[in-house]
Structure 1
């Protein structure tokens, strides 16, 4: 049976509603409760084995830094002459070109398989979220290498405790594949113990490479924290290609959309996806000078981190504007008030409408010569409310304001 041809002809489905006599059903951990009565099926592991793809899968997980590390690793592997697919927060890229828009950071396994069949890159770099690990959206994939970029508080609305969040991340690294880890090696015997983000991870020692500090210093992106992201990518590229570290260079790397991205120089305006206390700390500490910070927190997500985000902004900013950031089904004003509980010494203002907040922040940045930091949205092109998603971009909002065009406020 030619499984590639079946996929190309849309004769395999993971949706019970699309199943017909001429289609083969892909039974996954996500759909098995709906497919108990289906006797003719194939599993993701069986499908991947039968496809005999040349593609090698690389999985990148971590609280912060996944996207940057993925893009840098992709750049280095392309530099070595390989074709590269990247799947994650920014969508799906093939050899540096955006091919498909974002769905989930880690989409259902059949989406990944279909992309691998359609484009068949030499390397398929995936951002692997903790949700995807729990929900087994990566089932059946035999990874050639795995990376942990960082570990800090996030997603406690889902995982409930940091210990459970850690256990989920830890479970991704229990096999013998190549593992490149940001942390400090504490114990190495039959099992390895590595400390990352203040938590101890018990890992399989085989093919484990722990970076306790960056191995590169000169990188084309701002932020000390990015030196570790670049280092993780460099070490992994070296292992995957059996090449020395000196084989690679970053001179032509053009950056990552929405990550420490400068969208204006006068005034200096930087947008970044930072949406956790640790992410904000790293981004804000990386930028010198006086700063005005505009940010919010996602609705229907980890509420315990909100006041901590306020504390971080309070530590680094001269002035703070708290605003919306995908409020979903929560009230934006209430989210802003929870963030404000962490602000003790710096003047701040709550402006729920994000465009209004940025307009005021741009005016202040111009008058006081502050650097404007817009955090949380990064390269996203929408704001998610309870019953609708509207088109929106921090980058475009700033550009329109600075070109004196009218910015429509909803």
Structure 2
């Protein structure tokens, strides 16, 4: 994967190239930022650039894409490129460590140029209803792998995707190898929620913030990759909030978003009228869809609440949403105000946390619904 495949992020690509040119490559770096901004493809392109054998790569500003090292990086099969990612015990024939899922991982990355979400990965390996982590066995495997000498390249590269999913019991093992890494080893850790990373691990990493992608870059990428007209590409880019994966989701007729919006709308109406039986049926139905789907819907709902608050105080607030959503949020906005917004936020975050901790989803949603009934009456 080359830098020229990365959408936008020109300033950051230049900065990364300069670290290689000036021999200032930190051995443990954390690429962090929102979903869909290109953290993973940037990490792969950076590693490929470091190990590219072309003497003109600094002049050209990119790896050559054709040397033996680049050819293997392009297929994600370089023997000195290693990946770790969240896994749950699914297929009985496979132990829950990343090396046993590399075929699926490579397929997903190559199909999407590296722009994937956690839900994409869970769907790929069919674990939507399970909680995936980076476990102790995985960290033992990291140590074992990196203790071998490199096969072909100057650097052995370990890319750990979604490091915030590291199981707390496994943290000391990862910390040890970060503190005492083998020579010529490069750790590129990737995260979306740095607040969930253990402080002792954070302190060993050089943070590299990956900003949102600018709208023009997303527009051009959509037009090039999906052959859509300018008006559609522009509208999708404006609503994507700097995330290419969100843009792709929106472009795919926004089926999931539309379903979440319709469900949120019905939910709030049942809460307002206090339709107890309807709320109970709703909670049981949602619970059957799996934890990751539940979390995604709760996150969407929290954003919807915040959009309503913005429209309550500023009718013409600039929010990247479809017209149908804006109309509903404007009508709903009087019920979200300075008296209840903090409690709304706390209750939704608490519900997300409970889902992550395997509390029964139906109970979580029904309890949250009863709280929302009270919050909507606060004026």
- Give the TM-score of the pair, scaled to structure 1: 0.32
Q: Which has the higher contact order (CA 8 A, sep 6+)?
A: 2
- Give the TM-score of the pair, scaled to structure 2: 0.34
Structure with a larger share of its residues in strand: 1
